[in-house]
Structure 1
Amino acid sequence: MPGTPAVVEQLVHARLLITTHRSARLRVTLRYRADDPLAVHMLFPAEYALDADRADRTEEAEPAPGGLAPARPPAPPEIEWVFARQLLTAGLELPSGLGDVHIRPALGRRTMVELRSPEGTALLQFDSNELRRFLWRSHVAVPEGSEPAHLDADRALAQLLG
């Protein structure tokens, strides 16, 4: 669709539920790409990694221009979860998901996202309206049902085999 963005990105706030009485507020980036039309990318700051090694990892500092003092080390890479756009859509209305990602509506205008990995489970609470706004923008970029027209079969096969 000419004139529509190839990438939809939205910063949202989430609450990471640590215990029944403790939580942490964090910013999450939601990303949708027209060249990957079936997927939603959810990016978290690296300090929230369940893998302690990854949360503490930083790359070696680059020298500053002129070699006087080292520049600030780059930030650790973000943690990225990728799952089906349809899962996010369905999870806003009914409990949905198998495997590593589960999404369900919660009391009020909240949506719960549960992410499971070998290192542990993270339970996040989002404002449902922020998720709906992101999905609406993704559907403007690639309307539901037109995803196959945006798929690059050769690229997808190369990713699977590479």
Structure 2
Amino acid sequence: MSTVIEQLVEARLVAAAPRVPTISATLQYDPRDPFAVRITFPAPATLEGVEVCWTFARELLAAGLERTEGQGDVRVRPYGFGRTVLEFHAPEGAAVVHLHSTDVRSFLDAAESLVPTGLEYLRLDIDRGLAELMRDPL
């Protein structure tokens, strides 16, 4: 059995539609996918009116606390005193979200206590991954 970390965070939406100034988003870390973190936004904060989950590198989130990081669909950077900015880019548009840096650090510390940075590879199930790749399509 694997412990999954879920932490509610207050997210301030800067560029999104429909316009919802502050929402509760959920940060998630699952040691079965040790390199990744997820953030889930509730339905009222999305264009489609359905819950949306973004998955990206734990390393990206950690580095983004200190400096601008990311070149693709997800970018992270510090902002002023005590804020971390996450930018999400999709064909439908972009969203800019501010989180409290203390919340992000707390979440990353909890993830670090489960799977220390640099030891993620020990959690990978290589046999299962290879079996999924080799499986015949139906």
TM-score, reference length from structure 2: 0.87
Question: CA offsets per residue over residues 94-146 of structure 1, 9 Å max, x none?
Answer: 00001100000001110100000000000000100100000000000101111
Give 2:27's match in structure 1, choosing from 25, 30, 33: 30
Give 1:117's match in structure 2, choosing from 76, 90, 101: 90
Give 1:153's match in structure 2, choosing from 111, 117, 126: 126
* Aligned partner of residue 21 in structure 2, secondary structure: strand
Question: CA offsets per residue over residues 73-100 of structure 1, 9 Å max, x none?
Answer: xxx5x21000000000000000000110
Q: Measured at CA, do residues 122 and 145 of structure 1 come closer, stay the same or move farther in structure 2, by a change above 3 Å? A: same
Supply the RMSD in Å over aligned alpha carbons.
Answer: 2.3
Q: Is 2:11 the partner of 1:14?
A: yes
**CA–CA distance in structure 2, aligned partners of residues 128 and 154 of structure 1:** 37
Structure 2: gaps spanning 5 or more residues: none
Q: Measured at CA, do residues 108 and 13 of structure 1 come closer, stay the same or move farther in structure 2, by a change above 3 Å? A: same
Give 1:94's match in structure 2, choosing from 54, 57, 67: 67
- Aligned residue-pair number: 133
TM-score, reference length from structure 1: 0.75
Give the letter aligned to residue 114 of structure 1: E
Q: Is 2:102 the partner of 1:129?
A: yes
**CA–CA distance in structure 2, aligned partners of residues 106 and 159 of structure 1:** 41
Deviation, structure 1 residue 155? 3.6
Q: Measured at CA, do residues 12 and 101 of structure 1 come closer, stay the same or move farther in structure 2, by a change above 3 Å? A: same
Contact 1:18/1:24, CA 8 A, preserved across alignment: no
Deviation, structure 1 residue 159? 7.1
**CA–CA distance in structure 2, aligned partners of residues 150 and 25 of structure 1:** 35
Structure 1: gaps spanning 5 or more residues: 56-75
